[in-house]
Amino acid sequence: MSETPRDWWKSAVVYQVYPRSFADGDGDGVGDIPGIRAHVDHLAWLGVDVVWLSPVYRSPMDDNGYDISDYHDVDPLFGTLDDLDGLIADLHERGIRLVMDLVVNHTSSSHAWFQESRSGRDSAKRDWYWWRPPREGHVGGEPGAEPTNWGSAFSGPAWTYDPDSGEYYLHLFAPSQPDLNWENPEVREAVYSMMRWWLDRGVDGFRMDVINMISKAGLEDGELGGPGGPIDTTTHGDPGPFVLNGPRVHEFLQEMHREVFADRPAGLLTVGETPATSVEEARRYTDPERREVDMVFQFEHVDLDSGPGGKWDVVPMSLLDLKASLGRWQEGLADVGWNSLYLGNHDQPRSVSRFGDDSPEYRAASAKALATVLHLHRGTPYVYQGDEIGMANAPLATVDDLRDIESVNAHRALLARGATGEEAMAAIRAKSRDHARTPMQWDADEHAGFTTGTPWLPANPDHVEVNVAAQREDPDSVLHHYRALIALRHDEPVVAHGDFTMLLPDHPQVYAFTRRLDDVVLLVVANLSSQPATARFDPTWDDAEPLLATTAHPTAGTWSLTPWETAVLIRR
Ligand code: GLC
């Protein structure tokens, strides 16, 4: 076998499995590892190189596993460590790597570390978390006595009072997700040692949850009334400037690299989830010379439909803004650094509903067009489970249809702020994470072939039409298109390594760009709208070789494109 290049992941495609919703092996209505093992051939057929597995560790599941109570075990809901070893072996046999989710900005409040930490002010692990006395002149437990005014990402204050010790602890997410104190070297060593344990077990790297929040700049009041992302800044201060990309984050990641990855052979993957991070900061995280992480997940393009009031202040997604944003990231990381390419994941609404057109008429065409544009950018594409068949948002009619802690709490907070029930639901219907978490649609059977029991979240009723089994039979399907795109990245070095030039940045319907590597040039043209479009390109493209079932044909440089039509041409 030839040696694995250090940057092997540039020509790789990652597939994200959200285990709760992928496939249920034991009929309890919740997806599990045996369920995933029953479908590894789907992943192999698709041709993906890496699976990123959302958390399967032991957890009270307040945030569906992003609240870990034991990093060294699998939650019984998902199976056993043996099942996981089996999954790793199944994937490796098919040449697919497995990347675990690493959630170390916080643990669950049920983790033994936190239990010990909260046992008293003189506990040996007290300093493993952020404990602080009530604000000067205030009595603990009373509103306003929190050490800072910060809001949490899941509504309410970011501090919870512990009456036994008379102090507050910090949680940037739910109260059951206390933040670890990375200033303490013992915490860092415990995390690195856990990571080595997993690598020794055979996993191939980590997707690092909110890793740019591990260094805190100071505990001071945040701004009220600003955008604040998911924070309700009408009632709480924005912790952002104090907790995002903090002063020691690069030092910690470099230390992690030395302690965990430096002495291991190539073939591992490290990807940092980094909300509210600029291109310049992303270059620092991913400059290979700095030895931090291989690539980041940035959020700029998935924040474009947030208004001045933050995540739940929903505004239309504009194609011009999307092009400007993604284009800026292509430029900013052109020479140094690397980006992850994604339109959806377990925290985002379905991409075809948000960026495409999920009406019966254009769902398939728009899902294909979005995939074409995304996969042919420079960066590593991530396929979120179900995107490969164009899965759409769930109906989510009323508050009873919500399961996600963020949506449930946001609904309550929006009502408290004065929204009507319908206004609150409208915002949540646009952005809820539950959309991404409905069962994977395997076939047209009851519950979409996800479970023989009652699913924890109902399958989208559209599964009778939109499912893997039907699309496998149809060579013109979204699924076959994804497979062809993945193969193209493997086969054409220009896709993985070529440079990127945006064309027609001001065209309101057409997304177009070229990629170039030496003498090979790829032209990608996509009408990302539900109306016909025309565009002009250099007429020398008229006779270029079409790829990926391209049918659009220019005449003397003029292109007429049907709604969501794409064209990919190559010149050698
Ligand atoms: C990340 C995860 C999200 C989780 C949060 C807290 O953003 O992707 O699902 O709720 O971190 O761990």
Catalytic residue check, 209 = yes
Reduced 3-state DSSP string for 511-568: EEEEEEECCEEEEEEEECCCCCEEEECCHHHCCCEEECCCCCCCECCEEEECCCCEEE
CA of residue 18 to ligand 1 center, whole Å: 12
Structure confidence by residue, pLDDT tens digits, 85-119: 999 999 999 999 999 999 999 999 999 999 999 99
Give the number of the atom of ligand 1 that is nearest the alpha carbon of residue 154.
10
pLDDT at site 309: 86
Give the number of the atom of ligand 1 that is nearest the alpha carbon of residue 63.
10
Q: Which of 179, 204, 209, 238 is flagged as catalytic? A: 209
Structure confidence by residue, pLDDT tens digits, 330-378: 999 999 999 999 999 999 999 999 999 999 999 999 999 999 999 999 9
pLDDT at site 4: 85
pLDDT at site 72: 98
Overall average pLDDT of the 311-338 stretch: 97
Q: Which residue lies with its CA nearest to atom 5 of ligand 1?
A: 66
Instruction: Measure the CA–CA gap between 438 and 446, rounded to whole angstroms.
Output: 14
CA of residue 302 to ligand 1 center, whole Å: 15
pLDDT at site 240: 95
190 confidence band (pLDDT: 50, 70, 90)? very high
pLDDT at site 369: 98
The 10 Å CB-count burial string (b at 16+, else e) for 222-249 is: beeebbbbbbbbeebbbbbbbbbbbeeb
Q: Residue 79 has which token pair?
A: 């199976």
Residue 228: pLDDT above 90? no
CA of residue 206 to ligand 1 center, whole Å: 14
The phi-psi region of residue 174 (left if phi > 0; otherwise alpha if psi is between -120 and 50; otherwise beta) is: beta
Pocket test for ligand 1, best of 57, 63, 180, 384 (most atoms within 8 A of CB): 63
Residue 303: pLDDT above 70? yes
CA of residue 210 to ligand 1 center, whole Å: 7
Radius of gyration from C-alpha coordinates of the chain: 24
Residue 2: pLDDT above 80? no
pLDDT at site 87: 98
CA of residue 106 to ligand 1 center, whole Å: 10
Which residues are bridge partners to 14 per DSSP?
Answer: 50, 382
Which residues are bridge partners to 535 per DSSP?
Answer: 559
The phi-psi region of residue 245 (left if phi > 0; otherwise alpha if psi is between -120 and 50; otherwise beta) is: left
DSSP tally for the chain: helices H, then strands E? 16, 22
Q: Which residue lies with its CA nearest to atom 12 of ligand 1?
A: 66
Q: Which residues line ligand 1 (CB under 6 A)?
A: 63, 66, 103, 173, 209-210, 273, 346-347
Q: Which of 67, 273, 300, 565 is flagged as catalytic? A: 273
Contact criterion met (CB below 8 Å) for 140 and 134? yes
Pocket test for ligand 1, best of 154, 176, 209, 340 (most atoms within 8 A of CB): 209
> Between the CA of residue 409 and those of 150, 264, 343, what are the distances in Å?
16, 43, 24
The phi-psi region of residue 298 (left if phi > 0; otherwise alpha if psi is between -120 and 50; otherwise beta) is: beta
Residue 1: pLDDT above 70? no
**Exposed (0-12), middle (13-18) or buried (19+): which is 516, by Cβ within 10 Å?**
middle
**Exposed (0-12), middle (13-18) or buried (19+): which is 464, by Cβ within 10 Å?**
middle
pLDDT at site 104: 98
> Between the CA of residue 537 and those of 507, 526, 556, what are the distances in Å?
12, 13, 9
Overall average pLDDT of the 262-275 stretch: 96
Q: Which residue lies with its CA nearest to atom 9 of ligand 1?
A: 347
> Between the CA of residue 520 and those of 84, 342, 481, what are the distances in Å?
42, 25, 22
CA of residue 535 to ligand 1 center, whole Å: 40
pLDDT, averaged across the chain? 96
Residue with the bigger pLDDT between 466 and 231: it is 466
Overall average pLDDT of the 34-48 stretch: 98
Instruction: Measure the CA–CA gap between 20 and 66, rounded to whole angstroms.
Output: 12
Pocket test for ligand 1, best of 21, 104, 105, 210 (most atoms within 8 A of CB): 210
Angle between helices 363-375 and 478-491 (to 10 degrees): 10
